[in-house]
Amino acid sequence: MRIRSIKPEFWRSQDIAELAWEDRLLFIGLWSYVDDNGVGRDDPRIITADLFALDSGEYRDTLARVADGLNTLAERGRIMRYTVEGAAYLEIVNWDRHQRIDRPNKARYPRSTDDSAKPRDTLATPSRGSSARNRGTGEQGNRGTDTSAPAARTRVDPAEFDTFWNAWPLKKGKKEARVAFEKAIKQGVTLERILAGVETYKREIGPSPDWSKVKWAQGWLNGARWEDEPSPTLPRRNVPKNDEWMYR
């Protein structure tokens, strides 16, 4: 871990303001985590141990928050995720703008500009408090063990994406969302399954969400979040009529 500085303009950045508070904290924490070239190992377990070692909550919940936050930072272009010879790394985008290192130490890890660096997709993470086995991630989530799953496709009807986009609550990152949507469809996920997941997610965030915490469609799709199970409903005890939407 290293001593870093925070420039005053950080707090007035529109891009930063669009991040949830906990993602801003994670982003700042990564500055101390990475080396003097802005690069570190892309392993949520190591990052959690370094940045949130004294969190009093359940470790799995903290780990899920960190993994989810890394996905968000990658989606918003704050970090670059890549692999070199099978090892995963992350690099702070525009590192020189965030930190001024007078005498940087020798690089510990390869940069994203290395000839052998390969971009790394945003990773699916387990829902907080649920088993990863129930959700399935990556290849498991798309193929699983269900032999009745639809076959992969080579073409996606543009109207299918339009249907998804009309249903998605946050209209940002449409171009990136289209790429992620087509990727999911080509891997055999049905439009109906995705739309069902969208409806579940919309019920989770409610009719008046904190938009800084609402996921961008690209990250939701790349994370196979249509596999998320709905959170348990709260008991209906003396619920004011104005708050009934929380218990649907």
Instruction: Label the pairing between strands 118-119 and 87-92.
Output: unpaired
pTM: 0.51
Would you place residue 239 in the very low, low, confident or very high pLDDT band (cuts 50, 70, 90)?
very low
Q: Check whether 34 has a pLDDT greater than 90.
A: yes
pLDDT bin (cut points 50, 70, 90) of residue 21 is very high
Chain segment 182-203, per-residue pLDDT in tens? 888 888 888 888 998 999 899 8
Residues 38, 39, 43, 47, CA torsion sign = negative
82/113 Cα distance (integer angstroms) = 10
Q: What is the mean pLDDT of the segment spanning 6-22?
A: 88
Phi–psi pair at 84, nearest 5 degrees: -135, 115
**108 token code pair:** 């510990």
- CA–CA separation, 178 vs 171, rounded Å? 12
Task: Judge whether residue 244 has pLDDT over 90.
Answer: no
**Among residues of the chain, what percentage have pLDDT more than 70?**
79
143's CB contacts (< 8 A; 6+ apart) are 149, 187, 188
Contact residues for 151 (Cβ-Cβ < 8 A; gap 6+): 188
Q: What is the mean pLDDT of residues 84-100?
A: 89
* Structure confidence by residue, pLDDT tens digits, 44-80: 999 999 999 888 667 788 898 999 999 999 988 899 9
Which pLDDT does position 153 carry in this prediction? 67
DSSP class of residue 234 equals P
| Strand ordering across the sheet containing 39-41 | 39-41, 87-92, 79-84, 118-119
Between residues 76 and 240, the one the model is more confident about: 76
| Average confidence (pLDDT) over 126-146 | 39
Going by pLDDT thresholds of 50, 70 and 90, the confidence category of residue 152 is low
Is residue 14 over pLDDT 60? yes
Read off the tokens for 133.
């086995």
- Helices and strands counted in the chain (H then E): 11, 4
User: CATH code for 8-119?
Assistant: 1.10.10
**pLDDT value at residue 232:** 63
- Phi then psi dihedrals of residue 220, to 5 deg: -60, -45
DSSP-assigned states of every residue in 105-150:
PPPSS--TTSTT-EE-PPPP-PPTTS-HHHH--HHHHHH-S-TTSP
Residue 176 in this model has a pLDDT that exceeds 70: yes
Tens digits of per-residue pLDDT, 97-120? 888 877 888 888 998 888 888 887
Q: Where exactly are the structural domains of the chain?
A: 8-119, 132-227
Closest-CA residue to 120 (of 43, 33, 25, 30): 43
Given a cut of 90, whether residue 151 has pLDDT beyond it is: no
- Report pLDDT digits (tens) over 204-217: 888 888 888 899 99
Instruction: Supply the mean pLDDT for the chain.
Output: 80
CA distance 33 to 138: 27
pLDDT value for 118: 86
Residue 159 tokens, joined: 């109207």
The C-alpha atoms of residue 207 and residue 204 are separated, in whole angstroms, by 9
What is the distance between the alpha carbons of residues 132 and 141, in angstroms, rounded to a whole number?
10
